[in-house]
Structure 1
Amino acid sequence: MISIKQVDFNGIDSLEYVNEPKPNVTNNSVLIKVSVLPVVPTDIKKESNPNATSEQFGKLPRTIGVAGVGKVVAVGINRDKNLIDKRVFFLNPAGAFSEYLLNQNKDWLFELPDSISDNEAATLTATSLVLKKEIEESTFSNVLITGANSVIGIYLLQQLSSVNKNIYPLVTPSSKTYLNDFLPDIQTYTVADIEEKFDSAIVADIAGNMSILKDLSQNITDLLIVSITIMKQTEFSNFKFVHESFDRITYEHLIKELSNNSLKALVGQVFKEHDVKSAQHFLEDNHSRGRILVKF
């Protein structure tokens, strides 16, 4: 089987397509034939920067990816036999980009209803809910979201619809139309549009652009920045880096919301034939227009 591995820190084009034996099913495992995988920005950062993560999965060589969708083709004697031939969404932070994947954690495997396509399921991320929790728990009534046109940003905006705060989704001028078309009931802003001064505000930072954060800070007296992209910085005193924890209940909730159409999926460009390098370059070189996927 083919696995996509990072072997050094020389960037996207150094990824290697490695032939490996198909995993053997153990008593407590489920074997998945992978069909579609999301391309995530964190992989691209890790591929060129050895300090991009403090996670235990930073050792090389490593299989890239954290999640995907596939079909169960075999189960161990201690796992549910009814899973055979079922479509599933899986989490696997230790690496997902392989033609076959062995799941040994029941909490990281989710059967998919017929109402959700493989591509829709592959867009799933719980990072937006981490930011939502920070926003809800803050005392600030003003919320600015950088990178609001991203996959995480648009999921977050949908999930904030019932939150009673002043929401300011920030995008580049070229992304306003895209976001307005996808979520027509939400007003969008560029940084230049934010002329009023705030006594206090929380910034949910998805873009990871220090220049944008500095510009915003000029108009905010009491500022809290919660970032999913910048781990360390010295510019702001009230700053917090947050990341997703892989929680079963959260993903069950997301799958239910997708299934009943209370959450809209964000499918972008889909690449075929394991073309991970082209997919990552596309993600790096273009404005976010939905989750970039790779078919296997």
Structure 2
Amino acid sequence: MLNQRVLVMHPQGSYQEVVCNTNPDWLFPLPDTLSNEAAATLTAGPGTALVLANFIKQHPSDQIMMTGANSLIGLILCQLLGPAYPGLTPIVSPASQAYFHHILPDFPCYLANHVKTTTGRRLLVDIAGSPRLLQQLSATQHPAEIVSIALQSIELTVPFTFVHEDFDPLIYQQFIQDITEQKLQLPIDRSFTFMDTQLAQHYAKDTHSRGRVLVDLRH
């Protein structure tokens, strides 16, 4: 595969200085019609969103409240479920409401204090990782269960489950195809040059999630 464009993944995650490929299952050839930038959005996100989608489908609920819906994982999860999924309730901050509507205009979204109380079983999906927000929603919405990808525990009496991705190369082959065919939208916020890596780190930390922040190592 020398001189071919590939995406290198690693089951232990991509947030590290060196990703050493020791397994051909972690190496994904990229079609010519898929840009480097679009391929880079696949790291640390789609697989986790799929885990949440499978959990939701295995735990039928009348309402699925989702914190951090404007994050990349939240946006992917919404697309995996679809706008007509019963009881889907994406929750965003006031500053992110317009952005969410811009990326997914066919989906509703709600502020935390505007979520309508419904009857039946309520599942709270935590992507934002904010204990304060979970406590607020638990006090007003009384979820039957909480599932989180960001927190491993919380001081609430509600049944709580922490989930994480189990790396599956077949899943990423499908994601590459879905992005290439524009069946899945993974937004990109900004791309920085290698010399501006420190600026990119501060930008990603200090601004609202608006898609992937990338660094181009070629410049």
Instruction: Provide the residue aligned with 1:178 in structure 2.
Output: 99
Query: Which letter does structure 2 place at the counterpart of 1:170?
Result: I
Matched residue, 1:76: none
Corresponding residue SS for 1:97: coil
Q: Which runs of 5+ in 1 are unaligned?
A: 1-82
Q: Which amino acid aligns with 2:166?
A: S
Question: What is the alpha-carbon distance in structure 2 between the residues aligned to residue 109 and residue 187 of structure 1?
Answer: 37
Residue 134 (structure 2) aligned to one of 195, 207, 213: 213
- Residue 113 of structure 1 is matched in structure 2 by 31
Secondary structure, in 3 states, of the residue corresponding to 1:174? helix
Aligned to 1:282: 203
Q: Tell me, yes or no, if the aligned pair for 2:53 and 2:80 is still in contact at 8 Å.
A: yes
- Residue pair 1:226, 1:239 contacting (<8 A) in 2 also: yes
Residue ranges of structure 2 left out of the alignment (5+ in a row) = none
Residues 132-211 of structure 1: pairs in structure 2 closer than 5 A: 132-161=53-82, 164-211=85-132
Residues 84-104 of structure 1: CA distance to partner in whole angstroms, max 9, x if unpaired? 211111113376534xx5421
Taking only the aligned residue pairs, the percentage that are identical comes to: 35
Cα offset, 1:240, TM superposition: 0.8
Structure with the higher helix share, 1 or 2: 2
Match of 2:149 in 1: 228
> How many residues are aligned here?
212
Hey, what's the Cα distance between the residues in 2 that align with 1:186 and 1:232?
30
Q: Per-residue deviation at 1:198?
A: 4.1
Write 1 or 2 for the structure with the bigger share of strand: 1
Contact 2:192 2:200 survives alignment (8 Å): yes
TM-score by length of 1: 0.67
Residues 163 and 246 from structure 1, CA distance in 2 versus in 1: closer, same or farther, beyond 3 angstroms?
farther
Report the CA distance shift for 1:198/1:272 in structure 2 as closer, same or farther (over 3 A): farther
- In the alignment, what sits opposite 1:19? none
Letter in 1 for 2:77: L
Correspondence list, 1:65-144, <5 A: 83-92=1-10, 93=12, 96-98=16-18, 102-124=20-42, 125=45, 126-144=47-65
Cα contact 1:90–1:110 (8 A) shared by 2 = yes
- CA distance in 1: counterparts of 2:92 and 2:23, whole angstroms: 38
How big is the shift at 1:274?
Answer: 5.4
| CA pair 191-152 structure 1, distance change in 2 beyond 3 A | same
Deviation of 1:162 (Å): 7.2
**What is the alpha-carbon distance in structure 1 between the residues aligned to residue 190 and residue 155 of structure 2?**
36
Contact 1:128–1:155 (CA<8 Å) still a contact in 2? yes
Amino acid at match of 1:251: Y
